[in-house]
Amino acid sequence: MTVWLNGALTGSGVPVIEPSDRGFLLADGLFETLLAREGRPLFFDAHLDRLERSAEELALPLPASRKKIRKGMSALLAANKLDEGGASLRLTLTRGPGARGIALPEDPHPTLLITAAPLGKAPDTVTAITAAIRRNDTSPAARMKTLAYLDNILARREANAKGAGEALMLNTKGRLACGTIGNLFLWKGAALFTPSLDEGVLPGITRAQIIALAEKEGLTCREAPLEPDTLRGCDGAFLTNSLAGLQRIRKVDGEALPDHALTGQLEAAYLALLEKEATKEPDGE
């Protein structure tokens, strides 16, 4: 498999990451996972907007322009023969090599890695549990896509041990936050609800698209604090992320959830948006 590292394509079997890279040692970095169709990364600018916002907050330089990153993604997809049909792209940015300890290097040399893989088929529905591990809504990192995913990994392990495919995470106040790899939406009647960003929620790219699509479809969508009991009395729920799209939650903590008819309407609108995005010419950079 070919990867794109710091501006050049290279074989993934070649040792190229410095042993002192802070991303490897301290999870000092960010990443984005993008859906690609027919050789095009979808919602590229939205992903780069989020990456740049977080990088600026972390004082983490981005060592390549958007134009160079987009061209690198296209070249990578072609090199791996993934430029037809669907694929996934992962962009990883670290602060690069550093001395021992956690003090920031005075002159950082960031590492920028892009990898590509065939797009696997995500299940349409999932069963979930409420995880014991909490989402830290007091941390700025909760609203960034950082490399530190251990809480999510442990929550998913808890779910798998209980026979479920996903875990829903509460925040430190005991309110609903998100899944381990996606944002949460639920229905109350014809109104759609999702936890607000100040609940420790990642500003998901698909989350933003669904909120915008709901408005275009004439549906009510509210961002608000949500108590766990809201799930038990809801009329349907789903998770969203860039690769899986909309994934219905069939059961939570052993209790079945209904499949709301309006989820299908939103999903159809989202799939139409993906088709439009896949044929859109990139903006000038």
pLDDT, tens digit, for every residue of 243-276? Answer: 999 999 999 999 999 999 999 999 999 999 999 9
Q: According to the model, what pLDDT value does residue 283 have?
A: 64
Q: Find the helix or strand (DSSP H, E) in which 221 lies.
A: strand 220-223
Q: According to the model, what pLDDT value does residue 281 have?
A: 75
Distances (CA, A) of 68 to 7, 65, 179: 8, 5, 33
How many other CB atoms sit within 10 Å of the CB of residue 256? 10
* Mean pLDDT value across the chain: 95
pLDDT surpassing 60 at residue 234: yes
Q: What are the pLDDT digits (tens) for 58-111? A: 999 999 999 999 999 999 999 999 988 899 999 999 999 999 999 999 999 999
CATH 3.30.470.10 domain position(s) in the chain: 2-118
With contact defined as beta carbons under 8 Å apart, do 250 and 126 qualify? Answer: yes
User: How far apart are the C-alpha atoms of 170 and 178, rounded to whole Å?
Assistant: 7
Ordered DSSP codes for 172-195: TTS-EEEESSSEEEEEETTEEEE-
pLDDT surpassing 90 at residue 120: no
* 23-49: average pLDDT: 97
User: How far apart are the C-alpha atoms of 32 and 145, rounded to whole Å?
Assistant: 7
* HSE, side-chain direction, 13 A CA sphere, residue 50: 22
Q: Residue 250's closest CA among 276, 277, 270, 231?
A: 231
Sign of CA dihedral 86, 15, 108, 140: positive
**Strand extents, DSSP E, 95-143:** 111-118, 125-130
Query: CATH top-level class for 2-118?
Result: alpha beta
pLDDT surpassing 60 at residue 32: yes
How many other CB atoms sit within 10 Å of the CB of residue 49? 14
29 Cα distance to chain centroid = 15
User: How far apart are the C-alpha atoms of 190 and 261, rounded to whole Å?
Assistant: 10
β pairing state of 191-194 and 183-188: antiparallel
CATH 3.20.10.10 domain position(s) in the chain: 125-275
Q: Residue 178's closest CA among 147, 137, 139?
A: 137
pTM value? 0.95
pLDDT surpassing 60 at residue 139: yes
Q: According to the model, what pLDDT value does residue 219 have?
A: 95
**DSSP-based three-state secondary structure for 68:** helix
The structure tokens listed for 164 are 């479920």
User: How far apart are the C-alpha atoms of 136 and 151, rounded to whole Å?
Assistant: 10
* 172-181: average pLDDT: 98
Tell me the residue length of the chain. 285
* HSE, side-chain direction, 13 A CA sphere, residue 201: 28
Q: According to the model, what pLDDT value does residue 85 have?
A: 87
Q: Find the helix or strand (DSSP H, E) in which 42 lies.
A: none
User: How far apart are the C-alpha atoms of 199 and 190, rounded to whole Å?
Assistant: 23
Assigned architecture for domain 125-275: Alpha-Beta Barrel (3.20)
